[in-house]
Amino acid sequence: MVHAVEEVNKRQVLGNLTLGYRIVDSCSDVTTSLKKALSFMRKNNTRSVAEQPSPPVLAVVGGYHSEISIAVTRLLNLENIPQISYGATTGFLSDKIRFPSFMRTVPEDDHQVRAILNILKSHQWTWVGIVTTDGDYGRYAVQRLEQHAKGTNICFAFTSVLPDVLRDSQLQDSISATVKSITENTNVKVIVSFAKPNHMMYLFNRLLKEPKGKGKVWVASDNWSQSPSILRGRTLSEVGTIFGTTLKSGNPTKFEQYLKNLDVDPEHHRNNVFLYQFLKNQTQQGKRAKPGTANDTAIETLINMIYPYAVFSVELAVEAIGQAVANLCIERDCKTRERLQPSELRDALRKQTFTMDGNNYTFDKNGDLNSGYDIILWNQKSPTTVDVHNIVATFSIKKNHTLTFISQEKQQEVTSVTGDVISICSNKCAPGTRKQSAQGQPVCCYECKSCPENHFSNTSDSTVCDLCDTRTHYSPMGSKTCMLKEILFLKWTDKYHKTLLAFTALGALLTLVVGIIFVARWNTPVVRASVGPICIILLFSLLSTFASVILFGGKPNNKQCKARQVLFGLSFTLCVSCIMVKSFKIILAFEFDPSIKRVLNKLYKPYIIIAVCLSGQVIICALWLALKSPETKWAKLENTKRLLRCEETSNEAFGAMLCYIGVLCLICFGVAFKGRKLPHSYNESKFITFAMLIYFICWIIFVPVYVNVTGQYLPAVEMVVILISAYGILFCQFFTKCYVILFKKEANTEHAFRQDVRNHSLGSISEINSSSVTSIGIQNPAFDVELPMSNSMSLVPLTDQNPPMGSDQSSLSLSPVSNPQLTRLQNDDSFNKKHLKRYSSLPAVICKS
């Protein structure tokens, strides 16, 4: 401080004024400090108030400890004397209501606590011990540390509080309890200390006697971070690693030079009690040790005792006072008439921006000067020397409380010392697990619980397990990642699908073969009797039905879902419509009631009937696609799988499509039953009936199965039903005809067909036997046959003419024979009406067919 005052006076900062000083010893004791501070006040000065227009001092610099500063500033505030501390950092002093006259050139402890937390976080030390002294400084620092640590997942295993006064009778007991806490908490490898230097010295004396007390990492506050004397000759290999936070340092070069040029003669420093006593003691020790070395020893000792941050803080305080006084006394006579008052200087200091070493400084609204901190790492230079000025990083308050290493080399130096130090309550939780706090324990002490199904954690020490997207992913218990669910559908490689596709291909091939056979034998009676053009349309519809089966397999997409049901519905509707038209045509050919026949002839328009039937299904499918069309839908099967399927979306539309086909099938079934007594060559009723029964049975079974079955094989159910229905029609409608065409050519002739019609006709009138008919002659150009029916009855031709097919000529009459009963039959109108008239037009219609 003497050097700082002399520098201000040497530069004539105050013009014709100079700064003076009075230095008293607080002895690091509150009571002593208060007694000494009384001399700074006007009412306690030996001179009277009238003789002393202002207090003996206008400002006070000091003290270093927070407890002393709190007590002294309360006293000085009685006369508004400003106090600027160079070391009191407790946050209590930022309260300007209680301490309006207090200022300081150092930041408050809240910032130091943040710097210490940054050190802990950067090394991931989460299980930490605390040692402090029972004073305002220590209590406030611990309170702020615990408060800020809540959001950082850092916990404190113990907090040991030592008595603030060294003469306290409980000190040794408190130190023993602290040693016990440190040695018993084996997981605690890092300890934060806000204690005073002497307390730390006593603690190390006891702690290092215990094997478990050695090798710890100590994070020292500015209270003792630059006090190597606490080691008492012990090395860092015993103590461990010591980090320290120190107040921001300036450049002490000028002060070092000042000390080197210092006159070491004690007699020249009688006005400075401290320096006088120190130099006197050094001179006496030098004389006893080796004459002539006293001067060098005294200077070297003083230089080694420099605290750079204290030099910087004291110089800032003196510089602030000097520049504030200079500004106030520019336009007034502060030396004689208009002397400054302490309150004026206090207000000016609070607003003053002062400069030192090219940098500008200002006290904030709390009277603090937030200069920041230096982070130091103690180094063992020699067995007896420890470097406590090794700055490895800086902590900036103004730059959002960031900790920055000053170089890459310094960062590597820190890593090499602390890389293997782990101070945690519980071991890290591996990926796939999460931390769960143990009951009754701090959050840092936890158990590692495996992530449940469909949850994962991919980082260590995760506090939560993230949920997988269960629509597309899954994870087993204890997983560190989510896995893609297997997509299920009726794959092309599936053996069941291959089987169904084989039957589909076979059905399509058989349909083509039948078509080829029919085209090749187009003019044969079998093809002509089957209504050839309608059969070709029927075969085309069957081929389309087989093709629709293919759309039910493979990976579904929206277009496929829309096409498969529509194609099946339209193709099978066309198929059933063709069968219905064929049935109508055969029935029409053998309908002998003239009135019914005339009506049927007018209504029978085969292609229009097919188009109308098909258009009904087209309307149903069009409305389905327009209003609520089928689409793909994901469905969950198992935890590890998901099903991609076609959703019909509208069960009503799907049901309407199937019901429409069912109605047509019922009509076919009724028509087939109507024609059950037709000639064998024209009688398809039993085959149509059988085909329709197959259809009804399959689809009646299909509905409940389709509604209740889920999974990838659901489309296969409909595929099977479609195949059975298509095969039923193919077999019943065409295979018997192909068999006749290929293997029974003698039955595929006009003569065979005429014979079949005659046999059918004879069978239909066999009831004539019950009427004792001797002989019946049927004259018709369409057939020529004589078949004995009994000993007394025969059917004889009246002509041998065979007009070509398509002739409309027809006649039916009884030949006159020598049998009395025949005359009765000829005159029997009821017989003619009931039996003979029903065959009156048979040959002509058949010829047309």
Average pLDDT over residues 57-67: 90
DSSP 757-825: HHHHHHHHTGGGGGGT---EE---TT----EEEETTEEEE-S----PPTT-------PPP-S-HHHHHH
Residues above pLDDT 90, as percent of the chain? 32
**8-state DSSP, 50:** T
DSSP 3-state of 740: helix
Amino acid at 284: Q
Q: What's residue 43's pLDDT? A: 60
Q: What's residue 97's pLDDT? A: 92
User: pLDDT band at residue 45, thresholds of 50, 70 and 90?
Assistant: low
Q: What's residue 819's pLDDT? A: 43
Q: Which residue, chain included where needed, has tokens 């501390």?
A: 85
Q: Which residue, chain included where needed, has tokens 């034998």?
A: 521
Q: What's residue 544's pLDDT? A: 93
Q: What's residue 450's pLDDT? A: 92
Which of 266-270, 309-313, 351-355, 843-847 is predicted with the least confidence, judged by mean pLDDT? 843-847
Largest CA-CA distance found in the chain, in angstroms, rounded: 186
Average pLDDT over residues 227-245: 90
- Asked whether 722 and 549 are in contact (CB, 8 A), the reply is yes
Which tokens is 132 given? 């402090």
User: pLDDT band at residue 249, thresholds of 50, 70 and 90?
Assistant: confident
User: pLDDT band at residue 788, thresholds of 50, 70 and 90?
Assistant: very low
* Region label for 135, one of left (φ > 0), alpha (ψ between -120 and 50) or beta (otherwise): beta
Q: What's residue 287's pLDDT? A: 62
Average pLDDT over residues 6-19: 88
The CA-CA-CA angle for residues 347, 351, 357, to 5°, reads: 125
Query: What is the pTM (predicted TM-score) of this model?
Result: 0.56
What digits encode the pLDDT tens for the residues 304-345? 888 888 899 999 999 999 999 998 888 788 877 678 889 999
pLDDT at 85 over 90: yes
Q: What's residue 675's pLDDT? A: 62
Position with higher pLDDT, 540 vs 785: 540
**8-state DSSP, 78:** G
Strand order in the sheet with 631-636: 486-488, 641-647, 631-636
The rounded Cα 488 to chain-centroid distance in angstroms is 24
What digits encode the pLDDT tens for the residues 115-133? 999 999 999 899 999 999 9
Which value, in Å, is the radius of gyration of the alpha carbons in the chain? 58
Q: How far apart are CA 686 and CA 427, in angstroms?
A: 83
Position with higher pLDDT, 662 vs 639: 662
Q: How far apart are CA 311 and CA 327, in angstroms?
A: 24
Which of 175-189, 373-387, 673-687 is predicted with the least confidence, judged by mean pLDDT? 673-687
Beta bridge partners of 634: 644
pLDDT at 840 over 50: no
**8-state DSSP, 22:** -
| Burial degree of 253 (CB within 10 A; 0-12, 13-18, 19+) | exposed
Which of 343-352, 454-463, 766-775 is predicted with the least confidence, judged by mean pLDDT? 766-775
Which of 270-279, 645-654, 737-746 is predicted with the least confidence, judged by mean pLDDT? 737-746
pLDDT at 164 over 50: yes
Q: What's residue 758's pLDDT? A: 63
User: pLDDT band at residue 587, thresholds of 50, 70 and 90?
Assistant: low
User: pLDDT band at residue 586, thresholds of 50, 70 and 90?
Assistant: low
Going by DSSP bridges, is the β-strand pair 359-362/190-193 parallel, antiparallel, or unpaired? unpaired
The rounded Cα 568 to chain-centroid distance in angstroms is 42
Average pLDDT over residues 367-386: 89
Mean pLDDT rounded to a whole number for the chain: 81
pLDDT at 560 over 50: yes
Q: What's residue 393's pLDDT? A: 93
Q: What's residue 685's pLDDT? A: 67
pLDDT at 363 over 50: yes
- Asked whether 630 and 646 are in contact (CB, 8 A), the reply is yes
pLDDT at 502 over 80: yes
What digits encode the pLDDT tens for the residues 397-409? 888 888 899 999 9
- Asked whether 571 and 539 are in contact (CB, 8 A), the reply is no
Q: What's residue 756's pLDDT? A: 62
Which of 382-391, 438-447, 457-466 is predicted with the least confidence, judged by mean pLDDT? 438-447
